[in-house]
Amino acid sequence: MSSKRVNKYFILSTYVFALMRMTTSQDVYVFDDTSGLGRTFDGIGALSGGGATSKLLPGYPEQQRNEILDYLFKPNFGAALQILKVEIGGGSQSGIGSEATHIYYDGDENYERGYEWWIMVEAKKRNPDIKLYGLPWVMSGWVGNGTSKSPYTYPDRTATYIVKWILAAKKYYNLTIDYIGEWNEQQYDAKYLKILRKALDNAGLQNVRIVAADDYQGELVVDLGNDLFLDTELATAIDIFGVHYTSTSSTIDQILSGKKLWASEDYSTINTLLGGRCWARILNQNYVNGLMTSTIAWNLIASYYQGMPYDRCGLMTAYSPWSGYYSVDTPIWMSAHTTQFTKIGWKYLSRQTGVGHLKHGGSYVALTSPDRKDLTIIIETMAYNASQCLHEVLTKYDVHKQNLTLKLTGSFRYIDSLFVWYSQIGDETQKANLVLFESLKPLQVVNGTVKLTVDVNQIYTLTTVSGGSKGKHPDPPVSKPFPLPYVDTFEDVPYHQEPYFLSPMAGSFEVVLGKNGKRVIRQMTVLPPVDWCETENFSLALVGNISWHDIFVETSFSLDVPYAAKGVFVAVRVNSGGCYTAGGEGIFFHIFPGDGQYQIYNDAKRSMLLGFGPISGLNASGWNRIAMVIKDYFATAYINGQLLFGIRVPLLPDHGFVGLGTSGFGHADFDYICVMSSDDGSKYQTCKYM
């Protein structure tokens, strides 16, 4: 009824506007619940992992770490996230880095590894209502029974692996996992999904809802949509249709499936003003265009080394733990516009009576509480050229300054004033024109009507909900370069945790008690993993600065461990990480004690051999120090402080990270890592800081 009135008004107003250009236009938008509401809101969230995106966060000083967690999770403070999705680590590369797994091989099982448990605990501490969602990328070779085969080859094993993780969340951390996914951006498997559902039910996890198929840009959803119609058991097993990067739209199949629709991974955009605008637009338009009731950002926090792929594609940035510096970026405040004034379980209003596009560009959504007493309206007017998300296909559109008349009827007719929260994200060139989540004077509702003028690149929240606030901690310390010399003996790291600054790219590293009675890091991956990125055939952890040209690195290793690797290496000028790790170049000094040989390579995969020779000076029974110093285009290597060789190296790569790892999978222990200037290295031939 009221929607017809709006349409008439639209036509009339266009007509009048065309006739008399001087006439002021008033576009009327009705907010009404009398003919029903839209879908149930499931929350705005973000993803830690996929992979290792929160890597550097645990290494922050406690104060800054807590501040960062407040900006992400604390209600009425910052992003106030309503869902936290995490990676179920697989002990190998899953995007930006590698995350630990809870089972490396038969007989191994441990729930103290990695940082995702900790992040979930910290999120729950701040917001007990936050929902938790787990999803694997790469999976431990254990699920493939050591064969690296698809996780659907042994579906019961894979289901067991997932169920164990969920049960452990409760047992060790009192965490309830609300949602579980299948296999990130890979073909789904109907048989496995049914087996997973049964395994969850049998373990008393009936309340854990399955999200499928977490596929990229809807590549597989057509099939899943069909399968859901044809297969009732499958349809019962799945609760949520989760899709990634669909440019705010859903297909007819998805909508007709009757399942909840989620943008279960989205955003993926640099968190400059551009990222803020992208996020503001899709948070509204994923519902307006695609009826998606949850949007989850990849990623939660850009807490990985600069030089990795997807630089700063997080809601905020924390890539400098040694200095304590972090930045609270625009997407944090764009999240707040929705999260601080809604709750999971609220409902969107219907299209045309509370949800839609603005006549002169932009969009609006409205949500109401179950008792319909509270109403939150979010309006965004992000410009086309400045709000495109990274993986998005965006059709050109125009946005203009416009006058809005909002009419509140139905249950909302008694509302007499609305709190106002406002942001203006101007062009990159107009930083002065930047307002982030400021509270304005409340708007009075006169005769059920509110008038508002909106301009380009703005976001407004009009709400009956009080208590919103723009949280502020003291400014963090200034950013500093990675400190040199850098010596890490890992003695301050809890057992089973990763070294703080070493960032695993292949394989996985955790602190264990070494045979020398000290804390050492052990490379943990022994079975070839069920890969998500390109298969690697080695382990590698990076540290430092991708700009390093001349540098010295030393470690002390032991292969006197069960499931020992054949060899270990140190590396310099490693120029590639993330899913591009296997294609990375650098100078890699491998040592194979069993073969009595060293080899030096120009690449991570060991396809470009630069030299080799016999080892001397090795203590076969114990720990051995290996070191390499590079200065311009000459590299020198040492064993236990004794010169092993010097070699001219190629001009490329010219600079990169320092690294260590194992040649092939298998355990190896590293007692420390020392990185210092190449001048000191050339002079002392061993780490003078040890």
Ligand X SMILES: *[C@@H]1O[C@H](CO)[C@@H](O)[C@H](O)[C@H]1NC(C)=O
> What would the DSSP string read from start to end of 149-170?
--TTSSHHHHHHHHHHHHHHHH
List the one residue from 174, 207, 232, 395 that touches ligand X (CB under 6 A).
174
11-20, long-range: CB < 8 A, 24+ apart: 13/359
Interacting positions 35-94 with ligand X (CB under 6 A): none
380 is catalytic: no
Q: 53 vs 368, which CB is nearer to ligand X?
A: 53
83 touches 131 (CB < 8 A): yes
Told to check if 622 binds ligand X by CB under 6 A, we report yes
Q: 428 vs 492, which CB is nearer to ligand X?
A: 428
Binding-site size, ligand X (CB under 6 A): 30
Span from 76-84, 115-123, 333-341, 379-387 in contact with ligand X (CB under 6 A)? 379-387
Q: 129 vs 201, which CB is nearer to ligand X?
A: 129
Task: Sort strands 43-48 and 294-298 into parallel, antiparallel or unpaired.
Answer: parallel
> What is the rounded CA–CA span in Å between residue 405 and residue 391?
34
Closest residue to ligand X: CB criterion: 622
Say whether the peptide bond before residue 213 is cis (omega within 30 degrees of 0): yes
> What is the rounded CA–CA span in Å between residue 92 and residue 160?
19
SS3 of residue 339 by DSSP: helix
In this structure, which amino acid lies at residue 124?
A: K
316 touches 301 (CB < 8 A): yes
> What would the DSSP string read from start to end of 529-582?
PB-SSS--SB-EEEES-TT--SEEEEEEEE--STTB-SEEEEEEEE---GGGGG
Catalytic residue, chosen from 99, 265, 392, 510, is 265
Span from 58-66, 96-104, 135-143, 380-388 in contact with ligand X (CB under 6 A)? 380-388
Cβ of residue 124: shortest distance to ligand X, in angstroms? 7
Task: Sort strands 458-463 and 503-506 into parallel, antiparallel or unpaired.
Answer: unpaired
In this structure, which amino acid lies at residue 102?
A: H
Span from 32-40, 85-93, 621-629, 681-689 in contact with ligand X (CB under 6 A)? 621-629
Cβ of residue 621: shortest distance to ligand X, in angstroms? 5
Q: 656 vs 664, which CB is nearer to ligand X?
A: 664
Q: Bridge-partner residues for 37, per DSSP?
A: 349
Cβ of residue 655: shortest distance to ligand X, in angstroms? 9
Interacting positions 339-358 with ligand X (CB under 6 A): none
Told to check if 621 binds ligand X by CB under 6 A, we report yes
Q: Which residue has the tokens 């452990």?
A: 168
List the one residue from 115, 133, 154, 592 that touches ligand X (CB under 6 A).
154
Q: 320 vs 353, which CB is nearer to ligand X?
A: 320
Q: 216 vs 612, which CB is nearer to ligand X?
A: 612
Span from 47-55, 362-370, 399-407, 594-602 in contact with ligand X (CB under 6 A)? 399-407
List the one residue from 619, 646, 650, 679 that touches ligand X (CB under 6 A).
619
Span from 30-38, 238-246, 324-332, 619-627 in contact with ligand X (CB under 6 A)? 619-627
Smallest CA-to-CA distance from 52 within 574, 507, 603 is with 507
554 is catalytic: no
List the one residue from 249, 306, 489, 682 that touches ligand X (CB under 6 A).
306
Told to check if 202 binds ligand X by CB under 6 A, we report no
Q: 225 vs 361, which CB is nearer to ligand X?
A: 361
Told to check if 447 binds ligand X by CB under 6 A, we report yes
In this structure, which amino acid lies at residue 145?
A: N
63 touches 70 (CB < 8 A): no
661 touches 538 (CB < 8 A): yes
Cβ of residue 230: shortest distance to ligand X, in angstroms? 29
Q: Which residue has the tokens 């004690």?
A: 593
Tokens describing residue 607: 């396809």
- Residue 168, Cβ neighbours under 10 Å: how many? 18
Which residues, 6+ apart, have CB-to-CB distance to 198 below 8 Å?
Answer: 159
List the one residue from 453, 475, 562, 651 that touches ligand X (CB under 6 A).
453
Catalytic residue, chosen from 99, 122, 185, 554, is 185
494, with CB counted inside 10 A (0-12, 13-18, 19+), is exposed
Told to check if 606 binds ligand X by CB under 6 A, we report yes
List the one residue from 4, 19, 20, 24 that touches ligand X (CB under 6 A).
24
List the one residue from 385, 439, 466, 642 that touches ligand X (CB under 6 A).
385
* Per-residue DSSP letter, 688: T
> What is the rounded CA–CA span in Å between residue 243 and residue 254?
10
> What is the rounded CA–CA span in Å between residue 505 and residue 653?
18
Cβ of residue 446: shortest distance to ligand X, in angstroms? 5
Span from 2-10, 243-251, 493-501, 617-625 in contact with ligand X (CB under 6 A)? 617-625
Helix axes 155-173 and 190-202, enclosed angle (nearest 10):
40
Span from 216-224, 378-386, 594-602, 679-687 in contact with ligand X (CB under 6 A)? 378-386
In this structure, which amino acid lies at residue 546?
A: I
Binding mask 86-125 for ligand X (x = CB under 6 A): ----------------------------------------
557 touches 623 (CB < 8 A): yes
Told to check if 206 binds ligand X by CB under 6 A, we report no
Interacting positions 459-488 with ligand X (CB under 6 A): 481-482
130, with CB counted inside 10 A (0-12, 13-18, 19+), is buried
Span from 2-10, 398-406, 490-498, 680-688 in contact with ligand X (CB under 6 A)? 398-406
Cβ of residue 430: shortest distance to ligand X, in angstroms? 8
Q: 233 vs 416, which CB is nearer to ligand X?
A: 416
634-643, long-range: CB < 8 A, 24+ apart: 635/572, 635/587, 635/589, 635/600, 636/682, 637/589, 637/598, 637/600, 638/554, 638/685, 638/686, 639/591, 639/615, 641/685, 641/686, 642/616, 642/617, 643/685
Told to check if 547 binds ligand X by CB under 6 A, we report yes
Told to check if 207 binds ligand X by CB under 6 A, we report no
Told to check if 386 binds ligand X by CB under 6 A, we report yes
Binding mask 400-439 for ligand X (x = CB under 6 A): -xxx-----------------------xx-----------
Span from 48-56, 135-143, 446-454, 485-493 in contact with ligand X (CB under 6 A)? 446-454
List the one residue from 330, 545, 555, 576 that touches ligand X (CB under 6 A).
545
Cβ of residue 140: shortest distance to ligand X, in angstroms? 14
282 touches 263 (CB < 8 A): yes
Binding site for ligand X (CB under 6 A): 24-25, 145-146, 154, 174, 176, 306, 383, 385-386, 401-403, 427-428, 446-447, 453, 481-482, 537, 545, 547, 606, 619, 621-623, 664
| Active-site residue list | 185, 265
